[in-house]
Structure 1
Amino acid sequence: MTADDALGSIDLPGTPRLVGAPWGDTSRRGRPYAKDPSVIRFGGRYLLYCSLPSGSDDVAEGWSVAVAESDDLVSWRTVAVLPPFGDYDATGAAAPGAVVLDGRVHLFFQTYGRGREDAICHAVSDDGIAFTPNPENPVFAPSGDWTCGRAIDADLVATDEHLVLAWVTRDPEMRIQMLGTARAPLDSAFGRADWEQLSVDGPALAPELPWEQECIEAPALRWDGTTFTMFYAGAYNNCPQQIGWATSTDARTWTRGADEPLIPAGPVGAWNHSESGHPGFLADGPDAGVLFFQANADDGHTWRIGATRVSFDGATPRVEFHGEAAR
């Protein structure tokens, strides 16, 4: 099967309307492969932060955070791959979450390959490409008897006073993937002592619905000044992973918006047949945005990132699908 064969159709009934064609970097494995999107508008263009795999299917370690850029959200090109910053991410880094604060890009990412010791790190950039790491890295890992102590899949949104961080962990047996939140003052350095863990006695969200199986991960946050909307991925990769959503007024207590996925895996023949997963949200006005997500049609042999426009009725998202009304 070629990479083109694996893509599948992007406009079958029941698939979301996309902004351009799905994109994947081919530099590492010779086929489209990019995961975990986080997109910002910065310096007159869009910057996409994503995870690139090791150079071989047989090597687990060596994942990296990459930067791609676009002028139109349609055509993307990789412009940088971040090097390891220290011993803590020498085995790999992945799942970036980017946010712009006071004209600088703050990037949060997870270490990769350390098991229970994987944690969230932080780096800052003036141009969105070259980053200076926080000297306290890693800056966040959760505590509590409900968690194994691991933290991955960072995403962030700023309120008037705080930077809110959503993160993912597992239970002490390392089986169930769950989601938590924390916050730090906006005027802080986002070091270890600056974070207040909001999910103290248990997760903000844990898998409950049949389609979520044993995993909730990959949060993507929106704040409208009153309410948080969180997009999240349910189920592990290709099980299939699908995208749901939840809301909160305090970032502590979350309520699911629906029992069924907002963006499910696609029908047979679709580019997202194996999964629609790991969302990333880019605001585009007070009541609209672009939702990025990873998908594939070949059980993970390839991975591409697509984008669909989303509108909001208050905190409730709506996505347009081919052949049917918006959901």
Structure 2
Amino acid sequence: MHYADTSRGRHYSKDPAVVKYAGRYWMYYSIPSHLDGREPDGWAIGIAVSDDLTKWERVGEMAAEQPYEANGFCAPGAIVLDGAIHLYYQTYGNGPKDAICHAVSHDGIRFERNRTNPIFSPTGNWNNGRAIDADVIVHQGKLFLYFATRDPLGEIQMQGVATAPLDSGFGAGAWTQRCEESILKPELPWEGQCIEAAAMCKREGKLLMFYAGAYNNCPQQIGCAISFVIRREAFLYGLVSQAIPNLPD
């Protein structure tokens, strides 16, 4: 499979999130600025559909609607809950003020923004208040939100987590930060100064986080962390080098 969005005059699309909804596969992804002088002209989110996960058709995009999206927004994380697509995405271009937003769609294309957006940014003296690269997963009767943030100096990118009840509406008052320090931060040589872009899945009762280690072009590589108990000390580290069935128990 190969897909690239051409709506900006060049082949460019990244950060995909795919869900199955209403019998089709829906892909949400980041698309860059037009660079033609229009305003606003920040990053946005493209939308494509497929019947077979191989051939994709662009069907639209989420354009900026709110002031907090004016500088751009991107890096969607998608999940289907109660017959609707819930999209968790980040604002862009605001430095430590970038935060996670939430929107809901019943047709895959038109999204209603959460009226309390941005819904989440971290607190505590271990981070600089930034939250990007959201990914969500249902676990233990709650929705777990994983995000990347930075240390107070804005140099080290690392992971945090928050949860919300499944019947909460996922607004700004629904989230409880579940860590008092990073749950996963760069420690291995190939991770450099950055762990970001979490992608979560569950297997045999364990949560697995696939993540990007090191900043872009450093080079950036893919790693995997396994959580046995959801608490800040519980992550093990390792570069993915074997098939998932052979990961350590």
Matched-pair contact (CA < 8 Å) for 1:242–1:261: no
Query: Corresponding residue for 1:50?
Result: 29
Matched-pair contact (CA < 8 Å) for 2:28–2:76: yes
Query: Corresponding residue for 1:35?
Result: 14
Structure 2 counterpart of 1:236, which letter? Answer: Y
Query: Corresponding residue for 1:162?
Result: 142
Query: Corresponding residue for 2:131?
Result: 151
Structure 2 counterpart of 1:245, which letter? Answer: C
Pairwise CA distance, 1:76:
1.3
Query: Corresponding residue for 1:305?
Result: none
Q: After superposition, give the CA deviation of every residue in 1:258-292 in whole Å (9 maximum; x if it has no partner).
A: 2x3449xxxxxxxxxxxxxxxxxxxxxxxxxxxxx
TM-score of the two chains, using structure 1 as the length reference: 0.71
- Within 5 A, what are the aligned runs for 1:1-327? 20=1, 22-30=2-10, 32-56=11-35, 62-200=42-180, 202-224=181-203, 226-253=205-232, 254-258=234-238, 260-262=239-241, 312-313=244-245, 316=247
Equivalents in 1 of 2:15, 2:230: separation in Å? 22
**Runs of 5+ unmatched residues, structure 1:** 1-19, 264-310, 318-327
Pairwise CA distance, 1:90:
1.3
Equivalents in 1 of 2:157, 2:56: separation in Å? 31
With over 3 angstroms needed to count, the CA separation of the structure-2 counterparts of 1:124 and 1:55, relative to structure 1, is: same
Matched-pair contact (CA < 8 Å) for 2:227–2:236: no
Pairwise CA distance, 1:160:
4.5
**Runs of 5+ unmatched residues, structure 2:** none
Equivalents in 2 of 1:127, 1:170: separation in Å? 35
With over 3 angstroms needed to count, the CA separation of the structure-2 counterparts of 1:73 and 1:205, relative to structure 1, is: same
Identical-residue share of aligned pairs (%): 49
TM-score of the two chains, using structure 2 as the length reference: 0.92
Equivalents in 2 of 1:27, 1:252: separation in Å? 42
Equivalents in 2 of 1:136, 1:250: separation in Å? 31
- What root-mean-square deviation, in Å, do the aligned CA atoms of Structure 1 and Structure 2 show? 2.1
Pairwise CA distance, 1:97:
0.3
With over 3 angstroms needed to count, the CA separation of the structure-2 counterparts of 1:77 and 1:134, relative to structure 1, is: same
Equivalents in 1 of 2:134, 2:116: separation in Å? 17
Q: How many residues align?
A: 246
With over 3 angstroms needed to count, the CA separation of the structure-2 counterparts of 1:99 and 1:117, relative to structure 1, is: same
Matched-pair contact (CA < 8 Å) for 2:35–2:41: no
With over 3 angstroms needed to count, the CA separation of the structure-2 counterparts of 1:225 and 1:191, relative to structure 1, is: farther
1:153 aligned counterpart, secondary structure? strand
Matched-pair contact (CA < 8 Å) for 1:142–1:151: yes
Structure number with greater CO (CA < 8 Å, separation at least 6) is 1
Structure 1 counterpart of 2:28, which letter? Answer: Y
